[in-house]
A = this chain, B = another copy of it.
Amino acid sequence: MRNKYSAIYHDIADKIVHRIYPVGSYLPSETQLSQLYGTSRETIRKALSELLINGFIQKIRGKGSIVLNLQRFNFPVSGITSYKELNRSLNMHSKTEVLCIEDRHVPVEKFDYQTTEALPATYVARLRKIDQDPIVLDRDYILKSVVPHISHAVAADSLYDYFENKLGLTISYATKTITVEHPSVEEKKWLALNEYEDVVVIRSRTYLEDTTLFQFTESIHRPDKFNFVDFARRQKIS
């Protein structure tokens, strides 16, 4: 960890996860923490504000910071997370099957993206299984302008790992929509759906740090296996 405040963030987060700071208890005060870590109060406050955003603590003015009971270890579709990371952090022991890799143009209208030009991309279709049961059908369109080629081995492992650690790309943010739709014949087949069963579709556009769009993703979920867990803070519309 190269930053003081992110080192402190991870240290406190660890202590919360391992119940050294139990749920419902107060953290040491900001001045105490600043002495503990040998740093200024502002640096402590930066770490605490990250913990607040991520739902670890709740700050109460005049009193202190309470440890919250976050049990967001189910399926955090919120936030951007790669399937491999999810799989590892949840110990799900899932398998990924690569169905197809080929060159295609992005079907931009599906993603509600307005453009006049064609977007050449690498199309990757993958099926995610847990205990032999198909759960999710992932369809990725990775723009050729950013990533010229993707191998079968990379697709079978982790696209995000490849992008970030091999290519040095920094994935920054994404916009997502979630809808319920009637499945296509192909989707029905891959996900082993019953008659009349709908699917949950998550479509996202992913951007790099310099705001260049580089990936469109379509995730088709079996409705009985779909579970989205979210943590939200109140924000007034004004």
Q: How far is the CA of A71 from the CA of B207 in the complex (A)?
A: 15
CB under 8 Å from chain B, chain A span 172-215: 172-180, 196-198, 200, 207, 209-211
With A68-B211, A210-B60, A229-B177 as given contacts, are A172 and B81 in contact (CB-CB < 8 Å)?
no
Q: Is A92 an interface residue (CB 8 A)?
A: no
Interface pair B180/A233, CB less than 8 Å apart: no
Interface pair A178/B228, CB less than 8 Å apart: yes
Q: How far is the CA of A200 from the CA of B198 in the complex (A)?
A: 11
Please state the number of chain copies in the assembly: 2
Interface pair A180/B209, CB less than 8 Å apart: no
Chain A window 125-168, contacts with chain B (Cβ cutoff 8 Å), 1 for yes, 0 for no: 00000000000000000000000000000000000000000000
A side interface size, CB within 8 A: 50
Interface pair A175/B72, CB less than 8 Å apart: yes
Q: Is A238 an interface residue (CB 8 A)?
A: yes
Binding site for B on A (CB under 8 A): 10, 53-55, 58, 60, 66, 68, 70-72, 74, 78-81, 85, 89, 171-180, 196-198, 200, 207, 209-211, 223-224, 226-235, 237-238
